[in-house]
Amino acid sequence: MLSNTLKNNRDRSTNLNYEKTIRDLVKEYSLQKCLKIIPLLKVENIKVNELEKFLRKFFDENQNPLDKNDDNKKFRSDLKRVIKIYDWLKYR
Protein backbone atom coordinates (compact mmCIF):
# COMPACT_ATOMS: atom_id res chain seq x y z
CA MET A 1 0.00 0.00 0.00
CA LEU A 2 2.83 2.44 0.79
CA SER A 3 5.38 3.66 -1.66
CA ASN A 4 8.95 2.52 -1.21
CA THR A 5 9.94 6.07 -0.28
CA LEU A 6 7.49 6.14 2.63
CA LYS A 7 8.63 2.72 3.79
CA ASN A 8 12.26 3.83 3.67
CA ASN A 9 11.44 7.02 5.56
CA ARG A 10 9.72 4.98 8.25
CA ASP A 11 12.69 2.64 8.52
CA ARG A 12 15.22 5.48 8.70
CA SER A 13 13.42 7.77 11.07
CA THR A 14 14.26 7.31 14.71
CA ASN A 15 12.60 10.37 16.23
CA LEU A 16 9.03 9.12 15.81
CA ASN A 17 7.48 6.11 17.41
CA TYR A 18 5.47 4.29 14.74
CA GLU A 19 3.94 2.09 17.39
CA LYS A 20 1.60 4.91 18.37
CA THR A 21 -2.09 5.03 17.64
CA ILE A 22 -3.97 7.78 15.87
CA ARG A 23 -5.38 8.91 19.19
CA ASP A 24 -1.82 9.35 20.49
CA LEU A 25 -0.83 11.36 17.44
CA VAL A 26 -3.82 13.71 17.67
CA LYS A 27 -2.93 14.48 21.29
CA GLU A 28 0.66 15.29 20.35
CA TYR A 29 0.59 16.91 16.91
CA SER A 30 -1.44 19.19 14.68
CA LEU A 31 -3.88 17.59 12.26
CA GLN A 32 -1.63 18.42 9.30
CA LYS A 33 1.35 16.77 10.99
CA CYS A 34 -0.80 13.73 11.75
CA LEU A 35 -1.59 13.43 8.05
CA LYS A 36 2.11 12.99 7.36
CA ILE A 37 2.63 10.45 10.14
CA ILE A 38 -0.46 8.23 9.83
CA PRO A 39 0.71 6.48 6.64
CA LEU A 40 3.91 5.55 8.45
CA LEU A 41 2.16 3.85 11.36
CA LYS A 42 2.09 0.11 11.53
CA VAL A 43 -1.16 -1.18 10.09
CA GLU A 44 -2.03 -3.09 13.24
CA ASN A 45 -1.94 0.21 15.18
CA ILE A 46 -4.46 1.93 12.92
CA LYS A 47 -8.00 1.41 14.14
CA VAL A 48 -10.61 2.14 11.51
CA ASN A 49 -12.93 3.95 13.92
CA GLU A 50 -10.10 6.22 15.13
CA LEU A 51 -9.09 6.98 11.57
CA GLU A 52 -12.67 7.79 10.66
CA LYS A 53 -12.95 10.19 13.62
CA PHE A 54 -9.70 11.81 12.60
CA LEU A 55 -10.87 12.31 9.01
CA ARG A 56 -14.22 13.71 10.12
CA LYS A 57 -12.47 16.16 12.41
CA PHE A 58 -10.06 17.16 9.66
CA PHE A 59 -12.88 17.83 7.21
CA ASP A 60 -14.84 19.74 9.86
CA GLU A 61 -11.90 22.02 10.59
CA ASN A 62 -10.76 22.57 7.00
CA GLN A 63 -13.04 23.99 4.36
CA ASN A 64 -12.80 21.99 1.12
CA PRO A 65 -9.39 20.48 1.87
CA LEU A 66 -9.21 18.71 -1.48
CA ASP A 67 -9.71 21.88 -3.52
CA LYS A 68 -6.79 22.78 -5.71
CA ASN A 69 -5.64 25.98 -4.11
CA ASP A 70 -2.31 26.98 -2.62
CA ASP A 71 -3.47 26.69 0.98
CA ASN A 72 -4.30 23.01 0.55
CA LYS A 73 -1.36 22.14 -1.65
CA LYS A 74 0.85 21.24 1.31
CA PHE A 75 -1.34 18.50 2.67
CA ARG A 76 -3.63 17.47 -0.18
CA SER A 77 -1.50 14.45 -1.16
CA ASP A 78 -1.18 13.37 2.44
CA LEU A 79 -4.93 13.62 2.91
CA LYS A 80 -5.58 11.52 -0.19
CA ARG A 81 -3.13 8.92 1.07
CA VAL A 82 -4.85 8.72 4.47
CA ILE A 83 -8.26 8.42 2.79
CA LYS A 84 -6.93 5.52 0.71
CA ILE A 85 -5.68 3.81 3.85
CA TYR A 86 -9.07 4.29 5.47
CA ASP A 87 -10.84 2.79 2.45
CA TRP A 88 -8.46 -0.15 2.36
CA LEU A 89 -8.89 -0.89 6.07
CA LYS A 90 -12.64 -0.37 6.07
CA TYR A 91 -13.49 -2.45 3.02
CA ARG A 92 -10.83 -5.13 2.82
Angle among Cα 31, 34, 40 to the nearest 5 degrees reads: 165
Predicted confidence (pLDDT) per residue in 19-62, tens digit: 789 999 999 999 888 998 898 888 888 999 999 999 999 888 88
How many beta carbons lie within 10 A of that of residue 46, not counting itself?
19
Predicted confidence (pLDDT) per residue in 56-74, tens digit: 998 888 877 777 765 656 7
Contact 90, 49 (CB under 8 A): no
The pTM assigned to this predicted structure is 0.80
* Helix locations, the chain, DSSP H: 4-12, 22-28, 31-37, 48-61, 70-91
Contacts of 64 (CB under 8 A, 6+ apart): 72
